[in-house]
Amino acid sequence: MTQQQPHRPSAPPPPPGRRPPAPPPRPAGNGASAEATQHMSVPTRQRPPAPGSGGGTAMKAPPPPAAVAKTPPRGPQRTEGQPSLEELINMANDKGYSDVHLGVGEAPRMRDRGEMMPMDLPVSDVPTFWSWLHEVMSEQEVQQFKDTKEFDGATQYDFARVRINVFDTLTGPAMVLRLIPLKILTMEQLRLPPVFKDISDAHKGLILVTGPTGSGKSTTMAAMVDYINKEHPKHIITIEDPVEFVHKSRKSLIKQREVGQHTLLFDNALKAALREDPDIILVGEMRDKGTVNTALKAAQTGHLVMGTLHTNSAVKTIERILTLYSAEEQDAMRTALAESIVAVIAQGLCRTTDGKRAAFHDILVNTEAMKDYISKGKYEDMAELMRQGEYDGMITMNQALFNLYQEGRITEETALELSPTANEMSQMLRGRI
């Protein structure tokens, strides 16, 4: 209920010739306090006048910039004195390092031509690590890592593309970053044997590039695709996890797909690729029986398929594929491989005497004689044919290492250390073979 105002007598009329005095300020209605009344009648802060609007000098200055609220940066903040992730990647790129290793409770380390190098940097703490993740991963990707304890992806800077793998450990989360140059090196720059061009010129079949992690498989395959891109009018589809080297269409049309972003499974994308009018299909990794089956089907239906496996020699690659199948299936699969394979290239990397790195290869080319040995499972004969098949471009790892030793690019100790059969290498070094 509204409170009734008390009756006040009317003021007497003013004398003639005088203005009436100004009425006293009315109290605020509805029970407003005197403090609120004072606030209404005396401004405490006013905005400066708009340009060109005049305005008096009684206006107060605007608040200092520090008083303006700022949008907080996304994610947790790294501890003072810790570098940003971009600074670490820049450091690795400037020094020519291939990998950056980060983890909670450890100082950052970097890989220099195969060797781990400790860095003069502070030990990484939890807030700093999570701030690094937010630098290169979306909120959804960070949540994916929290949920699954694994993350595999990639990002790109102006100077390099970076493959990211995040995982959990006993001491806390950790991360490995692989730096991938934006420039794709040619076969000549990589000093690859001339037979690589002949292999890349094939119109159909299966090309396998194998080797352990960090052996340069992706770099070699990128050089082969780049050669095809410059020389042949083909349609190339790549299926990778993640996309590493980024190609631009030149003479060939290139479409690159990333598992997890553009497709859910290797096998699904490979099956779909058969309906996308490809000439060449690159499979980042042939991980399981289903992918191998589809790759062989594509190779047998007139496509050139390129893929990778984690094996240490060309002959063992064929053995590894056959282990995916039961004993009853292996005879048929040996025949399928004999008909489909163009070449198997097993690769390794070694540190050279000048501090750089060089690739050495085990190269199996599927000649008519080799096709017969594959179909019959004669692995020892296959290895012997590779030793004697220089004319067809074949070579064994021992022969490749021995060639590097003769050129003065590696030491005798390095050749023996990396040899798959050290006894044979020892005899080669002593001139007995």
User: pLDDT digits over 234-288, tens only?
Assistant: 999 999 988 889 999 999 999 999 988 899 888 889 899 999 999 999 998 888 8
**For 19, what's the count of Cα atoms within 13 Å in the CB-facing half-sphere?**
3
Q: What is the pLDDT at residue 52? A: 43
How would residue 206 be classed by pLDDT, with cut points 50, 70 and 90?
A: very high
Tokens of 323: 């282990």
**Nearest Cα to Cα of residue 282 among 331, 251, 247, 230:** 247
Model pLDDT for residues 372-395, shown as the tens digit of each residue:
999 999 999 999 999 999 999 999
Sheet holding 150-156, edge to edge: 115-118, 109-112, 99-103, 172-181, 160-169, 150-156
Residues 6+ apart with CB under 8 A from 319: 379
Residue 353 to residue 361: CA distance in whole angstroms: 18
Tokens of 2: 């509204």
Which residue segments constitute the domains of the chain, with CATH numbers given? Answer: 85-181 (3.30.450.90), 187-395 (3.40.50.300)
Three-state SS string across the chain, please? CCCCCCCCCCCCCCCCCCCCCCCCCCCCCCCCCHHHHHHHHCCCCCCCCCCCCCCCCCCCCCCCHHHCCCCCCCCCCCCCCCCCHHHHHHHHHHHCCCEEEEECCCCCEEEECCEEEECCCCCCCHHHHHHHHHHHCCHHHHHHHHHHCEEEEEEECCCEEEEEEEEEECCEEEEEEEEEECCCCCHHHHCCCCHHHHHHCCCCEEEEEECCCCCCHHHHHHHHHHHHHHHCCCEEEEEECCCCCCCCCCCCEEEEEEECCCECCHHHHHHHHCCCCCCEEEECCCCCHHHHHHHHHHHHCCCEEEEEECCCCHHHHHHHHHCCCCHHHHHHHHHHHHHHEEEEEEEEEEECCCCCEEEEEEEEECCHHHHHHHHHCCHHHHHHHHHHCHHHCCECHHHHHHHHHHCCCCCHHHHHHHCCCHHHHHHHHCCCC
- Nearest 5°: the CA angle 247, 345, 330 is 115
Model pLDDT for residues 45-95, shown as the tens digit of each residue:
444 444 444 444 444 444 444 444 444 455 678 899 899 999 999 999 999
Q: Average pLDDT of 227-231?
A: 97
Q: How many residues does the chain have?
A: 433
Give percent of the chain with pLDDT exceeding 90.
70
What's the distance, CA 416 to chain centroid? 33
Model pLDDT for residues 238-251, shown as the tens digit of each residue:
999 888 899 999 99
Residue 287 to residue 320: CA distance in whole angstroms: 11
Tokens of 153: 């992806």
**Nearest Cα to Cα of residue 196 among 233, 218, 225:** 225
| Contact status, residue 270 vs residue 282, Cβ threshold 8 Å | no
Tokens of 131: 């701030």
Average pLDDT, the chain: 85
